[in-house]
Structure 1
Amino acid sequence: MVVQLRYLIFILLFGAARTAVVPSPQQCRCHPTEPCWPSAPAWNALNSSIEGNLIAVRPFAHICHDPTYDSDSCQEARRMSNESLWLSANPGAVQIANWAAFPRRNETCYVDSIQSIPCGQGRISLYSAVVRKTEHIQAAVRFVRKHNVRLAIKNTGHCFLGRSVAPDSLQILTHNLKSIEFVDDFRPQGCPNDGKGYGSAVTIGAGVQLKDLYTALGQRNITAVIGAAHTVGAAGGYIQGGGHSPLGTWKGMAADNAVEFEIVTAKGNLVIANNFQNSDLFFALRGGGGGSWGVVTRVTIRTFPDPPCAVQILNISSANSTAFWAFVEEFHVNLPIINDGGGSGYYFLTPSNSSTNLSTLDIALFFVGHQSETIMASVLDPLIEFANATLSPSSVVLTRLQAPGFRYVIDQILPGSSDTGGAIVRIGSRLVSHSFLSNRPGATKLTNALKQISSSFPGGTITGHVVSGGQVALNSNLDVAINPAWRRTVTHLVGGVSWAPNSTVEEQREKERQVTELLVPLLAKLEPDMGAYLNEADAYEREFQTSFWGDKYPRLKMIKKKWDSEGIFITRRGVGSEEWDEEGMCRV
């Protein structure tokens, strides 16, 4: 059966008692058990300053547990617990469900766990400022600075590293900032009068999600470099972390195409960052990591005429392990050639396990800017011939399509209005270079590593992202904070583990250990200087400074000291986070 393009991309997206802490006021954030915690009048004053938009937060699943169990409400919560659109709007939810828990405190609150298990607050914020305008954000930032309260910023909650949650914190929820403004020739603030404009662009509010933006772009027959998901927030950690895209080979990474940010800084000031003012902050916001520099309220990105797109879907399945892995190696040998020919896209490797005899490799490739099959045939036919020669005829299914615009491809990739969220998962990743796979020994080493990972994590899927090369590589001269390794990358590989909601703390820690001590090292030793994508990486990535930013980290650290010397904006494995504990509560 032919696997539809939208299915392939669908695979990709996948109160307990507290122990009182007695920190030094100069070294730790304030806890609710301490005298320094804001009084009720202080919280009421914040609520008034943001026009009644402050709410007390509980994990959304608390209605599925005693003593607040409610049958009808719990049933509805279970029904919505995998709907990313609903999760993104809910202050008590995140897209990766395990980040709502806090195993060290033995606090969990899953919709599917036993009703009698108490619902702990976990890492979910105690309060949320459900902001509706910039002044609300400024008031919330000034509040946490004055009262030494931990801050968490939630755009949509799409974060594999748990950066949008923090225990005992005030959350700023940017979901309602939905403005979209188009301009034919954007001129950044501070641009000289005789300066050249940037061409067509769109300015989006922090709460604008990718599918909504694609729809607005499509109505004007234009497009922008953004990702392949419904509910990821375009202005949040996605673009600030670099932002890979199926359009990357054509026009570069999302951060490469950002031309201006509006941001609330650690002092509560609203500033503009572009090439003409606050250029150091502009550098940091283009790849330096979401949540580390302030609260972005708006961002302006370039737009382009909607390009035609040729698509190939290749589905490989085989019960012959030797033949299957031979094809996996051959595919990676050919990947640099495909990428040089303009190919981008995704592939999903699922080796066989005890429950099935079949191993599968599903590949979706896009040739953006091409309308005929000629370009695809020139770079893909040798691979197809190899597949037909080594695998049985029924094991190879090929589909080729032509779309007059990328918007038609997006309609297939992202049907409906929502992704599947609510997963319990921990991932690890690595970037693999073009040069490493341009020779047979490199592809052989990678294939052997993938074999080893598949035997250690049976039944798991390894996802490859062919989202660089082309213009991503050519943009190496841009002064942005993106890891320089991206400019040499041909594929970004991600694997992971999951566990049941009722798993013990020890079982969860063992799963996490497997990612950090087995999966990531197996990939990292292939090319120690390549690193990982900071938005899709191990939450406990070792030496994350060089892994995520390479030689740009010292510059980022200096910018952090200038703009946020007090550490108001600390995120897991973010710039400056090494000076704080894992939850960003105490300096270390």
Structure 2
Amino acid sequence: MRPALPALAGAIFCRGAHGLADAPEEIQLTADIIGDFDAISFASLSPTEATARSPQCKAFPGDPSWPSEDEWSRLNKTLGGALLKPLPPASVCYSTSPNFNAEACRFLVNNGSRTTFYLDDPVTILTQWPQGNTCLLSPNPAGNCTQGGFPAYVVNATTVKHVQAAVNFARNKNIRLVIKNTGHDSVGRSTGAGSLSVWTHYLKGFEFLPEYSQPGGNYHGPAARVGAGLQVWEAFAHAERHNVTLVGASCLTVGSYGGWITGGGHSPLSSKLGLGVDQVLELRVVTADGRYVTADPQTNRDLFFAMRGGGGSTYGIVISAIAKAHPPINLTIASFSFALGNTSSTTPGPSVTVADVDTFWKGFNAVYAFGIPTVDAGGYLWTTARPAGSGRYQMQVQVQMPGLTPAAATAFVQPLIDTLNNLGIPVGITTPTTQVYSSQTGSHGGAPGNGYFASRLFPRAVFENTTLFAAVMTAARATVEAGYTFHGLNMAPTVQAGGYAAPAGLNPVWRDTAMHADVFANVNMGSVTPAEAAAAQRRLNGYMDAIRMATPGGGAYFNECDVLEPDWQTSFFGSNYDRLVRIKRNWDPWHVFWAPTTPGSEAWAVQTPNELPTQNGRLCRV
């Protein structure tokens, strides 16, 4: 049995190629709807008055200032029943929970990860520790399940009016507001104790625009208006129908036009077509005052700048975007792997073993040395090096080449194969796989994990300077030997690749980056004490420091990061940080939007006794 889900509405605007006159995007909050319900009225105080009157802490359940049941009920009536009060999904496994359901528990334990359940759940985020680990899934859980860092209420937003009413209610009632789409969140920016959550997952509209001219910009051509909740696999299905390419996240269940673009957004097409921020031609946004505005190079230019790479959950809530629609393109992938083991393979093949440790690590270095040729050819080098136990290691490699035929991809990769063969690694490749980029499918899967990781952006100079390259390869090797997984993605998302001159709030380091790498810790944050979890983070940070020192001028990816990244302001946003803080203060003097490690977030903190910054606590001024 699958646990029952609330009835959910459909797309935010009509699927077609023409106007949106009757579309739900036009359903907005009006004075007639507000009436005498002042709790959902638009902002009336000046920015100076708003700052002066802002309380020390956000209201919290149980406080005298927390809205009454009658007020929540009236909000729900205004929303047409879109207000949810969901318990944690795993609560069905706890006998002390009012939601206890043994059959539903068995479904989650045995089959939840094989379905879209968690991606379609109103509170789940796919990394659990930021919630506080207060309701972990288990067939025989110990203790009680509590709401922890999950929101108190959720608005299932399917119209602009829903989002406006939620923003206004949260601002006027001094309630913490969070924004959640699909839950692809590793640090807790999409959840928060005692909060009202705006759930944008069902803003799934699509409209193909055969001819679009960007106001005040330089783009003229095909485009698409895409809802913030449209997942990659859904966008690809629309793109296939119209014979175009829409650039999206590598993970097909991500909602590309929300957090992905506001954090930057990389993909296998980054070296060829740029980042997610380079695809955005226009945004429609609900801002902290409750207004619904357009942002493009001509209108609200500072907002358009900030919301492309300047951090999500910070300046406003994306309702929809207009994105470039490119000609269809094939993605051809040449794959192989090699491992360090007890014996060496004698027969060439796509998966081989070597017994000599030095040979393995020389092969490791050779693969990353091939990163620059790959990105210069418009490609994407996907690699994973991981421990395999007992002093053994495995290196997985995918050379992903947009626009090449299998024969051309084979010829392109051959120099790397020759280098590895000459080192004593008899690896080869079979005929590379190829498919139309937008024909990728796969909407299922995905269950909450509980790991911890950090990331680093490697400037191109690291690969071109032999001293820096040797140092960074030594540091990367040390992480794997210490038990971490090193996941590298070589790409070159230059301004030229993006074909887009409008400035963006993205960390400028991205434009000179030749690799983004994640380093994953082998620790389950739900099975250790808070002190042990904090110690694990400090240990990882020690190894990351060696990588940081070997990559001067680098940074870290805002969407994939350690929430305790040192000097995160510079690492995530670089020289744009001060400007982003000014834009944040201008658009949100009421402090409606807050999420960890976003511009201006230093002024607030979640009160929690844990060393790790979970979202299980009251949000207060620092």
TM-fit CA distance, 1:350: 1.3
Distance 2:494 2:503 in 1: 18
280-289 or 577-586: bigger deviation: 577-586
Tell me the residue number matched to 1:340: 376
Contact 1:472 1:486 in 2 (8 A): no
2:387 corresponds to 1:351: yes
Tell me the residue number matched to 2:526: 501
Paired AA for residue 284 in structure 2? E
Distance 1:197 1:505 in 2: 50
TM-fit CA distance, 1:506: 2.2
2:560 corresponds to 1:536: yes
Distance 2:60 2:479 in 1: 41
Q: TM-score, normalised by structure 1?
A: 0.88
CA change 1:472–1:87 in 2 (3 A) is farther
Tell me the SS of whatever aligns to 2:164.
helix
76-85 or 569-578: bigger deviation: 76-85
2:411 corresponds to 1:377: yes
Contact 1:348 1:463 in 2 (8 A): yes
TM-fit CA distance, 1:198: 2.5
Q: TM-score, normalised by structure 2?
A: 0.83
Contact 1:530 1:547 in 2 (8 A): yes
CA change 1:177–1:204 in 2 (3 A) is same
Paired AA for residue 510 in structure 2? W
Tell me the residue number matched to 2:70: 41
CA change 1:369–1:470 in 2 (3 A) is farther
1:125 to 151, 154, 161: 151
2:124 corresponds to 1:93: yes
Q: Which runs of 5+ in 1 are unaligned?
A: 1-23
219-228 or 276-285: bigger deviation: 219-228
2:200 to 161, 166, 174: 174
2:416 corresponds to 1:391: no
Paired AA for residue 73 in structure 1? A
Contact 1:108 1:120 in 2 (8 A): yes
Distance 2:223 2:357 in 1: 49
Paired AA for residue 271 in structure 2? T
Tell me the residue number matched to 2:106: 75
Contact 2:275 2:498 in 1 (8 A): no
Deviation string for 1:434-475 (max 9, x for gaps)? Answer: 12112332222122111221232x2x4211112324666676
Q: CA RMSD in A?
A: 2.2
Tell me the residue number matched to 1:218: 240
Tell me the residue number matched to 1:360: 394
Distance 2:308 2:200 in 1: 19
2:81 to 27, 47, 52: 52
Distance 1:553 1:495 in 2: 25
Tell me the SS of whatever aligns to 2:430.
strand
Distance 1:25 1:422 in 2: 35
Matches within 5 A, 1:147-546: 147-188=173-214, 191=215, 198-319=220-341, 320-354=356-390, 358-371=392-405, 373-374=407-408, 377-378=411-412, 380-393=413-426, 396-401=427-432, 403=434, 405-408=436-439, 411=440, 414=441, 416-456=442-482, 458=483, 460-469=484-493, 477-497=501-521, 498-499=523-524, 501-515=526-540, 517-546=541-570
Deviation string for 1:157-216 (max 9, x for gaps)? Answer: 10112110011101111111110110011234xx37xx8763111111121101111111
Contact 1:229 1:419 in 2 (8 A): no
Contact 1:84 1:95 in 2 (8 A): no
Distance 2:232 2:153 in 1: 27
Tell me the SS of whatever aligns to 2:602.
helix
Distance 2:489 2:295 in 1: 30
TM-fit CA distance, 1:385: 1.3
2:52 corresponds to 1:30: no
TM-fit CA distance, 1:113: 7.2
Deviation string for 1:234-289 (max 9, x for gaps)? Answer: 11110111100111111111111100001100011000000110011000111111
Tell me the residue number matched to 2:49: none
Contact 1:431 1:489 in 2 (8 A): yes
TM-fit CA distance, 1:476: 8.5
Contact 2:385 2:396 in 1 (8 A): yes
Distance 2:163 2:60 in 1: 22
Tell me the SS of whatever aligns to 2:487.
strand
TM-fit CA distance, 1:401: 2.3
CA change 1:84–1:277 in 2 (3 A) is farther
TM-fit CA distance, 1:83: 4.6
Tell me the SS of whatever aligns to 2:432.
strand
Tell me the residue number matched to 1:3: none
Paired AA for residue 538 in structure 1? D
Paired AA for residue 526 in structure 1? A
Contact 2:278 2:498 in 1 (8 A): no
Distance 1:404 1:33 in 2: 55
Paired AA for residue 138 in structure 2? D
179-188 or 567-576: bigger deviation: 179-188
Q: Which runs of 5+ in 2 are unaligned?
A: 1-52, 342-355, 607-614
CA change 1:272–1:224 in 2 (3 A) is same
Contact 2:494 2:511 in 1 (8 A): no
Distance 2:359 2:583 in 1: 51
112-121 or 298-307: bigger deviation: 112-121
2:572 corresponds to 1:548: yes
